[in-house]
Structure 1
Amino acid sequence: MNKTVMRAGWSRGVTELRQSFTNGGDLFNHFFWPVLMLVVLFLMRDVSFGDGEFELGTLVLPGILGMNAAMAMVTMSQLLTADREDGTLLRAKATPHGTPAYLVGKIISVSVGVVVDLAIFLIPALFIIPGLRVGSSEAWLTLGWVLVLGLVATLPIGAVLGSLFSSTRSQGLLTLPIMAMIGISGIFYPVTSMPEWVQGLAQVFPVYWLGLGMRSALLPDSAVIVEIGDAWRHLETVGVLSVWAVVGLVLAPIVLRRMARRESGSTMAERREKALQRVG
């Protein structure tokens, strides 16, 4: 990817971020989920897990961070579908290096948006939940590389998913499988309390590994006993997330180019006509 594409993508991403943080609806979305998760965390703060050695809220907080990072792929999918529907992607296609610059810009804007959302959640959560390993530079370093690798693993997959839908109405089809994936990934309750076949299935998807990586960063070493194999498994975390990243980075440009080639004024007009018929 050349410097021209990167500069164009960076400019596009910064513009989208500026618009996102000055739009009332987008600001509501930035605060709604973090505040909702804070309420969930507050209700869990005094609930014990197992023999009472650990508070459930302490175990859940890092998992929520991982879940929100993984949900960036849903955000990417929704935004790409919306841009396809309203003609933004078609206009990008018409400019030199438009499609790759569009993808770079979208990755930048969604990534920074996710980091802001996580900060809105994490900063007040530190005052609600005790016992987190927040005084260690190693903890924050681990948190950083897990987040970066997790976003690289999930955002391209989100772009691939977004290319499969022709309208935002059909994005609802993603909700059930995504919620099921979150449900089995040990976000709200340790995965070791689930059947072994569920544990195996959870380890296929990036949400589990993001949650595990976040827990390894923020929880005390004694908390490892609730994990599979009584280990944080950093090497496995890097391996699985890297596989997802490679698959996404290979597939996303190919899929987007093919999708962009199929976009035209006539296909947009046809989609608009169908939408008007549904409304009518």
Structure 2
Amino acid sequence: MNKLTTAARSGWARGLIEFRQLFTTPQDLVAFLLPNVIFMVAMAFLRAVPTGATGLSIGTLMVTSVLGSNVCFTGLLTMTQALSTEREDGTLLRAKAVPNGMLAYLIGKVVVITGATVVGLAITLTYALLAFDQVAVPGPAGWLKLVAVLVVGLFATMPVGAVLGSLFANPRMIGFASMPIMALLGVSGILYPITVLPVWVQWLAQAFPMYWLGLGMRSSLLPDSALAVEIGHSWRGWETFAVLGVWAVIGLALAPAVLRRMARRESGSTVAARREKAMQRIG
């Protein structure tokens, strides 16, 4: 058995353990489910609010768009949060001390984040299919596209999240990453049609994965009447996968070098210094 296989098996086992802990620890489970519950309640009030041009309600457009934004949030912020938190508490240092430990650690994170994303997507999608009449998956081709958008979206966001997590020395700095992402939420066509925004804002939003993830999910679940509020009145399937693919390539190219640099700088003294600073802030 070669080193890569060993690391993969170890990472898979680690990821499954963390995934199981997520759904068996009450605090983690509440933190995971609460945003979904709040979202479902909010969408229920928007089921009958029409958009006019599409014949669909605002709630119908939003419920499908949020499926894409959730992939972006989970892939980016969860990976960023995990790396920065476990860098501070010494988990990364312990992983570094084991042969191929960093690789196994990262594989474990990919497993647990992917699993959490799929579960969250399944919950929201089930709600959307049951509560909104015009939300539907049009046969095997629709399911295939939905899964493809999910997979490519994770590849486009998780490596970037790993890069961001490597740059932040502690989890209290995550706000520097979350604020721009929240700003993108407001301009990426998730909360309302992007075509109501100025053209320059539309171009800005199209440079980032969140818009394309939302578009990909809408194209998989909504009727063609929704094209009335889309850019160019098209689902732009090839463009969706092309832009997400570019982000995946960028992330996969940068992440290994950045992570190696971060691992080289980890030592017992740096972890101890971070802990001391954290205790001082608490005190």
* TM-score normalised according to structure 1 size: 0.96
Task: Say which of 212, 215, 220 aligns to 1:217.
Answer: 220
The CA RMSD over aligned residues, in Å, is: 1.3
Unaligned runs of 5+ in 1: none
Q: Is the Cα contact below 8 Å between 1:35 and 1:121 reproduced in 2? A: no
- Corresponding position: 1:259 with 2:259: no
Name the residue aligned to 1:42.
44
Q: Is the Cα contact below 8 Å between 1:100 and 1:253 reproduced in 2? A: no
The number of equivalent residue pairs is: 280
Name the residue aligned to 1:55.
57
Task: Say which of 87, 102, 112 aligns to 1:84.
Answer: 87
For residue 42 of structure 1, report the CA deviation from its aligned partner: 0.8
Deviations 1:152-178 (A, max 9, x none): 110110111111111111112222211
| Equivalent-residue separation in structure 2 for 1:167 and 1:147 (angstroms) | 29
| Equivalent-residue separation in structure 2 for 1:39 and 1:170 (angstroms) | 31
Deviations 1:249-279 (A, max 9, x none): 1111111111011111100111111112222
- Corresponding position: 1:94 with 2:97: yes
Alignment of structure 1 residues 145-184 onto 2, 5 Å: 145-184=148-187
- Identical counterparts, % of pairs: 54
Q: Is the Cα contact below 8 Å between 1:76 and 1:158 reproduced in 2? A: yes
- Corresponding position: 1:234 with 2:237: yes
Matched AA of 2:46? M
Which deviates more, 33-42 or 235-244? 33-42
Q: Is the Cα contact below 8 Å between 2:55 and 2:225 reproduced in 1? A: no
Unaligned runs of 5+ in 2: none
| Equivalent-residue separation in structure 1 for 2:239 and 2:184 (angstroms) | 19
Matched AA of 1:66? G
- Corresponding position: 1:274 with 2:277: yes
For residue 88 of structure 1, report the CA deviation from its aligned partner: 0.6
| Equivalent-residue separation in structure 2 for 1:254 and 1:51 (angstroms) | 48
Name the residue aligned to 1:64.
66
For residue 36 of structure 1, report the CA deviation from its aligned partner: 1.3
